[in-house]
Amino acid sequence: AQSVAQPEDQVNVAEGNPLTVKCTYSVSGNPYLFWYVQYPNRGLQFLLKYITGDNLVKGSYGFEAEFNKSQTSFHLKKPSALVSDSALYFCAVSPVGAGSYQLTFGKGTKLSVIP
Amino acid sequence: SQTIHQWPATLVQPVGSPLSLECTVEGTSNPNLYWYRQAAGRGLQLLFYSVGIGQISSEVPQNLSASRPQDRQFILSSKKLLLSDSGFYLCAWSPGLAGKEQFFGPGTRLTVL
């Protein structure tokens, strides 16, 4: 069975500074990897995904993530944080293979961007 | 474009009462459909998923059930709610292909008193 770890419950960063939200995963074989963002009392919004190819994936709102197979990590990054980036971020994994449409989510990391 | 609707947005129910939450998807056909529960604003627990009409897979045995009477309709039900059923319920859909992201509805906040 697959799993996702988001080791930080909360990340605080000053506005304008770079941000990183960490994610490591465990899966049999190759992974599909995803990042989602959730604002209070709202559904999850898709940010980006890694399927195959370039290890650096660019997504919505200036976010990017780097797939590192040897470290089984998929950290979310942004060069310059905005106050509006404050939200709950989820990493998710799905194994590559037939019928692999179920996602396993991490517990989430609360990002607070301080003005 | 595709949209996903959930209703109601909020619900307060007494213990022991029935439950019916509805989710519908527009703009696509043959989607995979999912019900999640999120407790305390944190992790998501997959409750049910469906790959077609009448096909329901349960991930966690519990007080809830799901049905898919139409291709783009997914219903979450309970005959008797428990206090522990309180939470934020999210419906999602994805294309029926591996490696595709899921798209989430706005959610239903259920409080059982």
Please choose, from the candidates A73, A76, A29, A89, the residue with its C-alpha nearest in 3D space to the C-alpha of residue B98. A29
Residue in chain A closest to B47 (alpha carbons) equals A102
Q: What local confidence, expressed as pLDDT, does residue A100 receive?
A: 63
Q: What local confidence, expressed as pLDDT, does residue A21 receive?
A: 98
Q: Which residues of B touch A30 (CB under 8 A)?
A: none
Does residue A95 register a pLDDT over 90? no
Q: What local confidence, expressed as pLDDT, does residue B2 receive?
A: 86
Q: What local confidence, expressed as pLDDT, does residue A96 receive?
A: 80
Q: What share of chain B is helix, strand, coil (3-state, %, to 5)?
A: 5, 55, 40
What does the pLDDT look like over A17-71, one tens digit per residue?
999 999 999 998 889 999 999 998 899 999 999 998 899 999 999 999 999 999 9
Report yes or no: A64 and A54 within 8 Å, Cβ to Cβ: no
Mean pLDDT of the region A84-93: 96
Does residue A111 register a pLDDT over 90? yes
Q: How confident is the model at residue A87 (pLDDT cuts 50, 70, 90)?
A: very high
User: Phi then psi for B85, rounded to 5 degrees?
Assistant: -80, -10
Q: How confident is the model at residue A1 (pLDDT cuts 50, 70, 90)?
A: confident
Report the distance separating Cα A69 and Cα B13, nearest Å.
47
Return mean pLDDT, chain A: 93
Q: Give me the residues of A, 10-29, that contact B with CB < 8 A.
A: none
Q: Which of B30, B34, B90, B102 to mutate to test the interface with A (most CBs of A within 10 A)?
A: B102
Percent of chain B with pLDDT over 90: 79
Nearest to A103 among B41, B102, B106 (CB): B102
Nearest to B104 among A44, A51, A107 (CB): A44
Q: Does B11 touch chain A (CB under 8 A)?
A: no
What does the pLDDT look like over B51-102, one tens digit per residue?
999 999 888 867 899 999 999 999 999 999 999 999 999 999 998 776 688 9
Q: Does B89 touch chain A (CB under 8 A)?
A: no
Q: Fill in the amino acid letter for A92.
A: A
What token pair was written down for B24? 């519908």
Q: What local confidence, expressed as pLDDT, does residue A43 receive?
A: 92
